[in-house]
Copies of this chain bind each other. A is one copy, B any other.
Amino acid sequence: MQHVLEKAQAAKAASSTLACMGSLKKNEALNAMAQALRDSAAYILAENEKDLQAGRDKGTSKAMLDRLALSEERIEGMADGLESVARLDDPVGEVTHTVLRPNGLSIGSKRVPLGVVGIIYEARPNVTSDAAGLCLKTGNATVLRGGSDAIHSNIAVVNVLRKAIASAGLPEDAIQLIDDTSREAATYMMGLNGVIDVLIPRGGAGLIQSVVKNATVPVIETGTGNCHVYIDENADLAMGLNIINNAKTSRPSVCNAAESLLVHEAAAQTFLPMVQKKLNGVELRGCAKTQAIIDVKPATDEDYYTEYNDYILAVKVVGSLNEAISHINKYGTKHSEAIVTESYQCAETFLERIDAAAVYVNASTRFTDGNEFGFGAEIGISTQKLHARGPMGLKELTTIKYIIRGNGQVR
């Protein structure tokens, strides 16, 4: 695994140069990267076609091929993304909470890059440029390890980005692609404590669990979202219908889509038939009380644990707000949870007692997103509690160090 180690060490060496670099140079590099993607579109598309052909040859699903496919338009989207990251404020270098201690020491907290960020991801080649751009903006070097399905595309994109970085006078080693797509290479990378500072897995639950289980490098767990919408006794049912419809059907494959609907028993008789009618393309699976009101398949305990990422919705009638909260805290993945209610007390209780990254009153769970939160960009959505929770923007790709200025103090 010498080749993985060498790339990670090269990234680490580059990270110390990047860490001291002002925004102007970093932004120049990001703009050069964007232009280089546009200029090299033909090369990237030709390499992408090799991945697509390999996918078709082994019978990859149409949905998967669509994720993998690049086009002039998608490359333009990647370039646009890099340019908009260049326009964001750079969080690095800010010094906050500076205090003058009684002994005369001045102690401040300075925002600095993490160092080397490892990203382990699956099929989408656009993650390659997105992640590299966000890391570069925050002064971090990146070690990328994409899936084998996109290997030709990833190699092409990284080649183009590295040349552009060098042309802007920054170290090209700031972006590294591990082109060994074996499981061993990924596992080896997960153990590079002291070289890689943090690992961010992006992909399905299987990938994320594998990284959480195998990594000794600190991990930020992202993305699994078993999200709920709870319709309270005091809900505006028209609003509730609009919210569950949006949360379930506007984009079922994403992590902030709803997977379960909970309905207070006082509202169920009226509300469930409304849901069945409005969400007519969605397969409903319900508890016994739900089945007594509308004709749906039964929901098992397993259903309530499942992130369908599909046009399927588990439904449960609950006897109280407390039951709803307990259900969500038990079955949810601490991503995004919503209540629809006109009751002040129920709203505040829900906000307080739900243990999740984002808790909503009278709005769709679909808003849990870096752009919707006003961060301008996003490297992922953290579902853990350490370091970052919810959408992670530029600030979450940094850490702090204390800088202490004295004039001879001893203790």
Q: Using CB atoms and an 8 Å cutoff, list the residues of chain A in contact with chain B.
A: 16, 19-20, 99, 101, 105, 107, 114-115, 193, 197-198, 212-213, 216, 218-220, 236, 239, 242-243, 245-247, 250, 329, 347, 351-353, 355-364, 366-368, 372-374, 384-387, 389-390, 399-411
Contact = CB atoms under 8 A, between A and B. Distances in A.
A193 B212 contact: yes
A61 to B, nearest CB: 27
B356 A411 contact: no
Contacts of A239: 408
Contacts of A366: 410-411
B364 A403 contact: no
Stoichiometry (number of copies): 2
Contacts of A374: 99, 101, 107
Nearest to A101: B374
Contacts of A355: 16, 19, 115, 401
Given A107-B373, A374-B101, A408-B242, A390 B386 contact: no
Nearest to A239: B408
Nearest to A244: B410
15 contacts: A16-B353, A20-B353, A101-B372, A114-B385, A218-B384, A245-B410, A250-B411, A357-B401, A360-B405, A361-B404, A363-B404, A363-B408, A364-B409, A372-B411, A389-B401
Given A16-B355, A385-B399, 9 more contacts: A19-B353, A20-B352, A105-B363, A357-B401, A358-B402, A359-B404, A362-B405, A362-B409, A363-B406
